[in-house]
Structure formats: structure tokens, C-alpha cells
Amino acid sequence: METPAKKAIGQPLSRVEAAAKVTGSARYAADYHFTNMAHGIAVTSAVTKGHILSIDSKAAEAVPGVLCVLSHLNAPPVPGYMSNPGSAIPVFAGKEFKPFLDNEIHFNSQPVALVIAETLEQAEYAASLVSIQYQREEHHTEMRENLSNAFTPEKGTDYTRGEPDAWKNAPVTIEQEYQTPLQVHNPMEPHATTAYWEGDDKLFIFNKSQGVKTTRQQFAKYFNLKEENVKVFAPYVGGAFGSSSRMWPQEMMAVLGAKKTGRPVQVALQRGQVFNMVGYRPYSIQKYAIGAQADGTLVGIGHQAYGSTSQYEQFMERILDPTKSMYACPNVHTQYKLVPLDMSTPCPARGPGETSGSFAMESAMDELAYALEMDPLELRLKNFAEQDPLKNLPWSSNYVKECYEKGAEKFGWKNRNPVPRSMRNGDMLVGWGMSTGIYKAERAPASASVMMKANGDVLIRCSVADTGPGSITIMTQIAADVLGIPVERVNIAWADADFPMAPPQYGSHTTASTGSAVYDAAMALKKKFIDISGSGDEVPNYVAILQKQQLPQLEATAESKPGPEIEKYSGKSFSVHFVEVQVHPLTCEARVIRVVSAIDAGRVMNIKTARSQVLGAVTWGIGIALMEEGIVDHRYGRYVNHNLADYHVPVHADTPVIDALFIDKPDPVLDPMGAKGLGEVGLIGLTAAIANAVYHATGKRVRSLPITPDKLL
């Protein structure tokens, strides 16, 4: 029997793909170059609503190197356009946007043509020469002006437990409105697709995608292809966070362009185009009411939310979920309505729904604490839910009380003077705020294969994507620990649609889902070795057994899915954020100086990548709270800040000292590793903690994000 290797799970292992990324050998969707490849540039609409009357492409077609100008007038037929296969993502319903289907304009900067040329520069120049005439129609892009058009989604979301208006009868009540603006993902890597056909029935797609299996299924449906004849690859993704969770126009444009020209075609969206074509966090208007007894015991909550969507598709998000489950409140009523606008469809953005919903919930809890003259931390402890009040089930695990304790101790919360404008650092106003976050922790079916080679190296195969959180690194750690071998002997091949099925990487369930499949496949492989060796050893000498059996390799594939026991529990991850801000008393500029985030995400798989996830979440949270806002000139329905100069995001100078604390206790129910979701929960609640700290510093409550100086003057 070999000596077991040191445990890999939990160790700060550097990402297995790190060297490829920093040396430039990692190939992203726009880094593929094939013989005879052409480039496509999208021509976008100059109106927000209406119809195309004519397209004059003669000048563009006359440019040297231009192969064709693709539009609804000459695009190859797409059989699935007629049958409307719908989206593979459950949160979407209705009609997807279909590039070049017809002459209808649904939103400003909608792709209406694709110029395909030998070089990128030729395509860019020719695209500027395409002349389009439109029939304009009245458009509506301002949310508040269109609240009268709000409707209940097809999947109704109203929820009541106890008495709907019980909060009104409580001794202490808060009733306020909170708003969050449109926010754009703006990943470092713009969305891109490179595609080519082999004959009429075999399609190759090199894509920016969070789920290659989803992309395969969609294109197989659209073109009536066998799924195995659609080859999809997305090994490297330069930021996604929800923006690559479904099919977007550049994918279909590249595929149609390749079909039209008979050549590989690459379509990379320009920076401004990612504001319109690949989703965004929608506007929200939330009316929040909360009532409590004098001792802080919650009596009732009312949460009414409005979210924006497109005119042609319903996008729903879990904006109400934190309110339903976070606190022990006997009377809760929530209502969610969609407001259709003449804009493209929103999509999940990190912490989809919960990020916006928790801003209202945790701001209202802070306002209630002040009304009660009670410490905000004490108020939350007072209303700790011993089990999930929504499902009336015990938690699979819940260590949020330890998050409160460890976070408060690290931050020094006990030293806080509760009176607004009472703390200073020199001339600067100092504010301390806190909040709680909650996000679903669940598991989806997944498969993986694990192969032991004759030299002792191991290869994992799985179609899982890795958009940056370090998932493929964690898979190698899981396999190494199960097999009892050094993690350096484990390799992984991923993000190929031909590999065993993995769900798309979103919803903070990759480790629990795909990790469980890797775990089960490695267990199955180890059992195979034990069975053929007959030794009964826990850690067999794999190489010796292969040599003895004259086997070049041995492989096991496992399909993993949650068992019935998971239905008996409610799985959630939790976070508690403590924030210090400083606000200039004259200019009213607010800066985040210090953040302590305590996280209950089950067993930590890799402390380095886990901490990195929290750092990223906090940085994005600072952007959402203080800077980010997609600004639309509603006269034209067009963005005015569709670039990285005018759409403000945090830079290094805006990033404070961030302490990420992990409870690191295994969840005994959700999966065999004891992990819970981590990627989303580090962001949820953070914007409210910042807003609460700003109130403590200034005495002024800002209920509409972002908190810019003009709102504090």
C-alpha cells in the first residue's frame, strides 16, 4: 500500500490554468485563428423601436475584402426560428431575440446586419458605410414612467405567510422605497464567437460561454442537428458572472456568417455593444415595509418589487428570496411585477435578484434598528431563524451566528458609537455599517470521468466551464484526495461539449454539482482498482496494479445527483459584512476604507481561490454601491456611458483593506465534500452595509443606488 498523499482540499493551491493565462497561451473565444477565417462586425440600429424600411449595403460591399453583408434579407434559414425552441435557462420565458429574423426593431443598438470581411479592419470600415432607413415608433425605456404597465410574470411570484399587513399593527414600523439602477457586466473580455461548418450537418463553435452543453443543445435545436454534431469549446472565459449564461447575438451571427460564406467566421462584440446585446442587471424599484415589537422582535414584512424586462421576453430574478428566508418573521407578504421596456432582455448578474433585494431588506433592517434605538447586529441576532421560515425545513447547515461573532470581533464592532456623525478621522466623517447575506446552496446532476494512466498520472474529463473562480483547480484537489495521490499528478480537460455533462457555471453550484461527480467518479475508479487487485487496501498501488494486469489505463465515469435526503433540508450559504466608510464633509465623496466579510459556505475547498472570490465580490459591491449605473437618454432610448471611461467601476485606488473570514465547517447534507455555494454570497448584502455605513457617517439615508456625492449634499 502506498503512503497517502497530503490532503489537497482546503489548501491554497494556485490555479492549474494560471500559467497559461499569464503567459498568453490560453486561448479565448477571439484568439482562435483558422485558415481562411473571416471577421464579422455587427451593424446596430439607430432607433429604439420600429421597423427597417431598407438596407443599402452597396458601398460596404464595394470595400476590398468584404465578402458579404448579412441581414434579415439574405440570412440562411434557421429552422428553429419558426419552432421557437425557447431558452434553456428557466428564468427566461417567451420569445428570445433572434438575430436577422425579420425587420422589427426591439431595442436601440440591436444588431441589424453583419459585415463579413477578410480582415477585422476591413469589416469595421465597411460596417460604417451600411445605410439603413427606419420607420420609427414611440418607445418606452424609463421604468418609473411605465409602472402602470407592470404585470405579474407567467410564473406568479406572490407569496404570503401569516397576515399580509401585520407590519402595520406593530409598535415600530418602517415603510420606504429603495431603487437600484441598471448595471452592466463589462467583463474584461468582450463576448466573442468563432464558428465554422463541416458540410451542412456538423458545426464547430469556439465560444465565450458558462455552459457548453447549453450552447450545444440550443444550436442543435435551431438547426435540426444531432447534438453530437455540434462541437462547442469554451476553455477560457475572461469574466462572465451571468453574462454568458445563455445564447447571445454574436453566437448566432458567427454561425450564420460561417454558413453564408462557407468559411470560419469570428464575431467579437465591440465594447459599446456589450451594453446592449449580452444582458445587464435590471432596474428595480422596491417598496419595503417592516414592523417590530419594542424589543426588536419582527412582527411582519411587506416587500413589493418591480423589475424591468424587455417587451419580447420575461426575465425574472430572485429579488424577493432574501426576505422570505433570512429572518424569523411570522407574517410576510411579497409581490413581484415586471415592467416591460423597449430594451434588450436583462440577464443574471452575480447574485441575481438577491443582490438588489438584499439592498432593500438590509437597509430597512438598519432603519428599523435606529427607530428601535437598538444595535443593528443585536437586531439581527434577535430575529435569527432556527429553520428556513419559507420552506419550514431545518437548515442543511447555518453558521451565520458564528459569522456575526467572528466578523464583529475582527472589525471591532463593539467600539462603534451608534450616533450618526459622531465618529471622525481628522476632518473625515467615519461611518460603520453592517448587513447579512443569504443565497441558495444547492446541487444539480452532473457527470465526470476519471482516468488513471500507466505512469500514475490522472486525467479528469468534464464539460464544466471555469469563468474564473478556480473550479477546475478544485476538481483536481477533490480527485487527488479521493485517490490519495499528490495533486500534481492530476490533470483536467474541461469545457468541451463532448465531455461528460456538467451544468452551466452559475448559481454557485459548480463545486457541489460537478465536484460531486468528480468525487463519485474517483471513488468508482478507486473501487475498480481495489476489486481487480483483491487486496482490500484503501490506497492501492495504482501503477503496480496496471502493470500486473497489463492495462494501459483504467477509467471510471459517474453520474452524480442529489439524493432524496436533500428534500428534507433547506440549503443556504450566508455572509455577514462589516464596513467602514469615510465621507468628506464638504465634497460628500464617500470611500470604503475597510471591509470584513465573514462567510458560511461550508467546507472551504481552496482557501486561496475562496478568498479571491470574496475580494472580487467586495470590489464589485463597492462599484454597485458608489459608482455603477448604466445611464440611458430616454429621449432616444440609448446609453450615453457605454464605455469604460464613463461607466465607472472600482480601480485599485478604490479597493480597501478586505478581510475574508471563513467558518469552514462542512455541510453534512448537500454533497460529499461538505461544500456550499460561495461565488454569489460574498456580494449579497454588501451594498446595504456600505449604505448603512454612509448613513452612520453622515446622518443622511440614501435609498437609491449608487450613492454619489450629489445625493449626500
Q: Answer for the pair 676, 566: CB distance below 8 angstroms, yes or no.
A: no
* Alpha helix ranges (H) inside 534-640: 542-548, 607-626
Residue identified by cell 450615453 is 640
Three-state DSSP at 79 gives helix
CB contact set of 669 (below 8 Å; sequence gap of 6+): 396, 397, 565, 566, 569, 571
- Amino acid residing at 108: N
Strand order in the sheet with 590-600: 423-425, 428-440, 572-583, 590-600, 657-662
What pairing do the DSSP bridges indicate for beta strands 332-341 and 298-310? parallel
Query: With 0-12 CB in 10 A as exposed, 13-18 as middle and 19+ as buried, what is 649?
Result: middle
Confirm if 287 and 304 have CB atoms less than 8 A apart.
yes
**Catalytic residue, candidates 96, 354, 629, 680:** 680
| Residues facing 499 on adjacent strands | none
Contact yes or no for 432/377 (Cβ under 8 A):
no
Q: Report residue 375 as a C-alpha cell.
A: 444595535
Closest Cα to residue 60, out of 70, 51, 46, 52?
70
Residues whose CB falls within 8 Å of the CB of residue 535, separated by 6 or more in sequence, listed in order? 1
Q: Strand 428-440 and strand 284-292: pairing?
A: unpaired
Distances from the Cα of 209 to the Cα of 28, 238, 445, 534, angstroms:
10, 10, 19, 44
User: Quick check: is 680 catalytic?
Assistant: yes
Backbone φ and ψ of 585, nearest 5°: -65, -20
Phi, psi dihedral angles at 81 (to 5 degrees):
-60, -30
- What's the burial of 283, exposed, middle or buried (CB within 10 Å: 0-12/13-18/19+)? buried
In one-letter notation, the amino acid at residue 113 is: A
Name the residue among 320, 360, 355, 363 with its Cα closest to residue 183. Answer: 355
| Whole-number Å distance between alpha carbons of 555 and 458 | 9
Chain Cα centroid distance, residue 473: 19
Q: Kind of pairing, strands 590-600 and 657-662?
A: parallel
Strand order in the sheet with 332-341: 159-161, 332-341, 298-310, 284-292, 172-180
Cell of 201: 450537418
Cβ neighbourhood burial of 39 (10 Å; 0-12, 13-18, 19+): buried
Listed in sequence order, the residues at least 6 apart from 40 whose beta carbon sits closer than 8 Å to its beta carbon are: 70, 114, 115, 116, 123, 253, 254, 257, 265, 266, 267
Between CA 498 and CA 213 the distance in angstroms is: 8
Q: Which residues are catalytic?
A: 680
